[in-house]
Amino acid sequence: MRISIFTMTVVAVLFLLAGINSFWLGRLFRPTMRGKFRFAYVSLTFLGAAALSIRSGSPFDGVAVFNVVFYFGPFWTVLQLMLLLAWPFSKLAGWLQHRWSLAREKELVAATPDSPLNPSLTRRNFLFQAAMAPPLAMTGINAVGVLDAEFRVVLRRLDFAYADLPAELDGLKIGHMTDVHLGPYISVNDVKKMATILQREAPDILAITGDFVDDVSLLPGAMDMMKPLLASLPLGGWFCMGNHEHRRGAAPIRSVLQQYGLRILDNQHQRLPFGGAHFTIAGVDYPMGASMSVRPEVAQDFLKSACDGISGKDFTLLMAHHPAFLPAAFSRQIPLTLAGHTHGGQVGWGQRSAFEFLYPYMRGVYQEAQSFGFVSCGAGHWLPFRLNCPPEVSVITLRRKA
């Protein structure tokens, strides 16, 4: 069984966080119970680490009863992060309960001075209940988030209307996939499910904006599942590289994708005939090694290479993995830019992200004049937790304004 460096890192972080959480949670129990609680906690952590390792080292498909144990790995791992966040709330709840119980205890003693109740035991019960509320709440939220990430893929339909769209392109459908992260948490069968959802919508073209694969050994099997979708596309399937492709080995990934008919655009464009008009698709490479301070300049350079020579009469679709390309695309008045990378923060607030502060373009639709940008939440993840931000594939329909 092959275990990736990523999985070994996750397991190491799991044990570190579990050690911290078992310590502070153990303090909520009576001294006679702490040892038993911490032993059980460590045992569950070893089980979670084993589930992570087994799942990383072999293909995982299906939800047979026996296989449900593999879901405990991501559940227990993400729970450690959630419990760490719960710690200050637990302390606050305990403090507030302590203040209330002291006042209440004085009232009880004054009213019933001969009460057989042990005030210190009553206070401990109150404190235990209050301090346990945040960890229990986080456990419930974590279960919902892990199940949402593992079992849901939604279809997002979008319409973009343009006054100058050629009549022949009215109704053209663009399928969009991004951030699939084929690997430990996204299986070959998951890719089949995504492709089937898109194929039912009968798109004319497919744009995949990077981070498709984390485990290159699974790529041929996943592309086999994509064959029916790719064969149904009048304008074909197109790909731009993401940071994970570069990290996992760009050359072998390019080779496999091209064998299955996906065309890769590295700071290039292609003009395609459609219904008597022309449709141009452009793609930019991921700016590996470029710091955030210089990325706008890199984006401008990449975009210049990709767009030089495009006819001003053509509708242009730009594929970019990173949403940092949106400002440059807006300045060039590119009608539509598709991006990913952010996963929408994987935690949503309404139709936006709970982490909007991390990226200027985090999730959803953005517009400047007649230029639109769409940042997808992505179809997969390498951290299996999503809350009000489910995995998604998208179909964008071009419309001509009346």
Give which of 370, 377, 366, 368 is closest to 398, Cα–Cα: 370
138 and 232 inside one domain:
no
90 and 234 inside one domain:
no
46 and 130 inside one domain:
yes
pLDDT at 314: 87
Q: What tens digit of pLDDT does each residue of 290-321 get?
A: 655 557 788 889 999 999 999 878 899 999 99
Instruction: Look up the domain containing 100 and give its range.
Output: 5-150
Q: pLDDT grade, residue 105 (50/70/90)?
A: low
328-330-331-333 Cα dihedral, nearest 10 degrees: 130
196 and 91 inside one domain:
no
111 and 18 inside one domain:
yes
Cα–Cα dist 293/28, whole Å: 46
Query: Is-contact 343 363, C-beta < 8 A?
Result: no
pTM over 0.75: yes
Total domains, the chain:
2
79 and 227 inside one domain:
no
Q: What tens digit of pLDDT does each residue of 343-375 get?
A: 999 999 888 898 988 899 999 999 999 999 999
126 and 29 inside one domain:
yes
Mean pLDDT of the chain: 87
Q: What tens digit of pLDDT does each residue of 121-147 get?
A: 455 555 567 788 889 999 999 999 988
Mean pLDDT for the stretch of residues 328-356 = 93
110 and 167 inside one domain:
no
Of 150, 174, 189, the one marking the end of a domain is 150
Mean pLDDT for the stretch of residues 10-15 = 91
276 and 371 inside one domain:
yes
CATH number, domain of 370, equals 3.60.21.10
pLDDT at 2: 56
330 and 274 inside one domain:
yes
How do 371-375 and 336-339 pair as beta strands? parallel
Q: What tens digit of pLDDT does each residue of 243-286 get?
A: 999 999 999 999 999 999 999 999 999 999 998 899 999 999 99
Mean pLDDT for the stretch of residues 94-113 = 62
Of 150, 178, 204, the one marking the end of a domain is 150
125 and 210 inside one domain:
no
The yes-or-no verdict on residue 230 having pLDDT over 70 is yes
* Side-chain-facing half-sphere of 340: CA atoms under 13 Å: 32
Of 117, 150, 183, the one marking the end of a domain is 150
357 and 383 inside one domain:
yes
The yes-or-no verdict on residue 67 having pLDDT over 70 is no
